[in-house]
Structure 1
Amino acid sequence: MAMRTFGRHSILVRSASVLLASFFLAGALTIAATILVTGERQHKAATQHLEQLLDTVESTVSVACFVKDAQLADEVALGLLKNQEVLSVVIEADGADLVQRSQPGAPSGTATADYPHLSRDVYSPFNPGKRIGRIQVAANARAIQRATYDEVRFVILQTLGQLGLVALAVIAVMLIFIVRPIKAMSDGLHHLDATRGERLAVPTNHGDTEIGRLVQDINNLAGDLADTLGQERRLRLAKEVEERKYHSIFENAETGIFIAAQDGILNSWNPAFARLLGIPANSDFQGVLNIRQLAWENTSRVVELGLNARLDNVGVSDDLAIRPRGGNRR
């Protein structure tokens, strides 16, 4: 489960998902634009082709209409129908149909009126200003649609192939130049022991890149951490030495030494103080005895000294007499 979660959140998977989504969106927009542009271009190309066909047979149709030769007009119509883009042909002479021809299976007569068509007036070969007939060509919309579909399908496949190759190339580049070095850094960090002087290795060919600088920064931080830990260890050892010296002085001093809180509770005292005041050892009654409970001859003076030291935040001193039980005044 952890591996699956890591995979979903890896740089490669997330980057590839964004790239594929971007390419899919770009491909969809490209395909939509291709369908529109290709359809319009095919329609214009079909119209231009029909115009060129009419230009080619115009003189022959003019002769056929002038002499009212149905056989010649029929040959012209059959020649035009050899083009799949032509659905039907109607040639008129002096207002009467000279010939009507259409593709096999196509509607005949006025049923082709709903299809896109071109018509051109026919003039006399000897008097260009005299109209003697008309030729009408209906476009084969299905053939034009099939041609448009074939071209659109080719463009779609070409576009998808190009986008797929670009996506694979980008993902491969990311995997080789970004994901692998970062994964190597991550694996190295998991096993890195900075205190032992271990450092991350700079990935190959990334000495001067952002990844290389990141590795150098991590190594510098690891070095600073190791130095800080070493300094902290040295300070701790020095503190332990000083504490041992202090305890040695505190325990072996002939002068009575004690530490008291603000409320007068004795936190610590040395053996000399215990012998002087006739109290138990520090380890037995630490935090229990109050300085006012000791055998002072003038307890109020002790309280006063403590109060003055606390209020003025200065050291105070005085000679105080003690009178242990059953002992002499000292």
Structure 2
Amino acid sequence: MNKSGLLVRLAVVIGFASLAIGFLSTQLFYRITVNQEINIANQSIESLFKTVQATAATAAYLAEQDLAQEVVDGLTTNDVVRNVVMTFEGKTVRANEEPLRNPVTFPIASLFEPDRAIGEMQIAPNIDYIKTRAEQLAGENSKAMIMQAAVVTVVAIFVAFYLITRPMIMIARALHRTTPGDGSRLAVPDFHGNSELGVLVSDVNKLLDKTEAQFSQERQLREEIEALEKRFRMLFEKSISPIILMEPRGNILLYNSAFEETLEKLGKSFRKSFGPLLEDLFVEPEALASSVEMAFANDEIATGEFRLRSDKETESMWAQVIVTSIISDDMREYYQVTLHDISKRKRELDLLAYQADFDKLTKLHNRQGLEKHLHNLIDVNTPFTLVLMDLNWFKQVNDIYGHKSGDEILIFVADKIKKAIRPNDLAGRWGGDEFVLILKNADQTQTTQVVERLVRLISKPYYLRKFEQNVTIGASAGAASFPTDSSELQALLHLADQAMYQAKKVKDTSPEDFLRFAEPIDVEQDNA
């Protein structure tokens, strides 16, 4: 035991002061001593709590279990403390596993809001130690405490005040004036350089050093976190692309303003859930789910382009969807879904595809578009008749009335072609004033009916408003059938062109002979 300790000093003083106490005061002194020791223990516990109150509040505020553990462990180093339990923010820190007996409960006040409790500390006094010490003191000293009980009491109170109460009050006041982080430290009381109070003050100063260092570190980390959070918020909120954080089952946890704008464009109001992977917002949610499932199975980020479902009668909206799986520290899975509006690019691509396969003037298929369809029909071996048609007397109209009038005639012819062909047939502008009809599964009779109906429509006079003049055109056509005449596209075009040429030669003498069919190819000559 430390010979400079408070308990040793107090025991020596009380021992010398109690030599004159008589045997008659033994029982009385015993009870007084026990009660006194219990009161002193309770005061000590309260003082100990006040000593570590600021540190405990710091630990509770920071939710720092290590610091809290140091506090409760430090308190149990005092003999009058049996066990300490500190509770804050759902966390419990214990000094040891012994059950609490007759604990004294102290609320832990916030450093910044003294009226608000942020935790609780329960300190169980060491009853066995207190009683044992009281019994020892009473048993040893009460034998001599007869006549000088009053003197001993006065001396004991004076000594206790001078050696314990006064230094503890000084420490408590110093602690009350101390603000963690301001650099101030507690002074060791006189004559307590090696006593428990001196050690306590030293430990408190170390805790203040550690707290100040943690404050500085926490302040720096908080500044960094605030800066990062500000940047993240700026990126998140200012992003032109919708960003959504959601649970796999569909509950939306976080989203930016761009997502709200997208919902407004779609004519939808915000809901807590649009289904897994926002499936209610997509025209083909099954394709999206399949794409994500396949990507995640390969441990990849899921990407794809999908059409959004709109409640408004507007142009269709398309989005590039990027889905990332995020696993949190507590092993919970979340999805980050990012939508990039690609509607404009889709429209541009569709326009380019349209322009590539359609004639700008007549809105019919152009030569490239027609060739694609012809190759597709040949590849799947679908019978069809290819009609190559050339306009009669178009050049004269074009030369006399100009190209704009010629364009009017071409648009007029294209419109009549759309009305003359059957629903399953296809037509297009081959080039100049040449047109092509693709008549699926049409024999010569059906082909003649379609071409005859078309020639009858385009042969009617067309009124040129600009020149206030009626003009009349006609048409000559040649037809070749797949696979009857040939199974090769170029051969079919050649046969149809030859047949059209034959009809063209008699356009003036026999205008009713406007359609010629390809003549059968001499097999031997063709093979040669």
> Which bin holds the TM-score, normalised by the shorter protein?
0.3 to 0.5
Q: Which has the higher contact order (CA 8 A, sep 6+)?
A: 1
Which structure has greater helix proportion?
1
TM-score (norm 1): 0.45
Q: Which protein has the bigger strand share?
A: 2
Which one has the largest radius of gyration? Answer: 1
Q: TM-score, normalised by structure 2?
A: 0.30
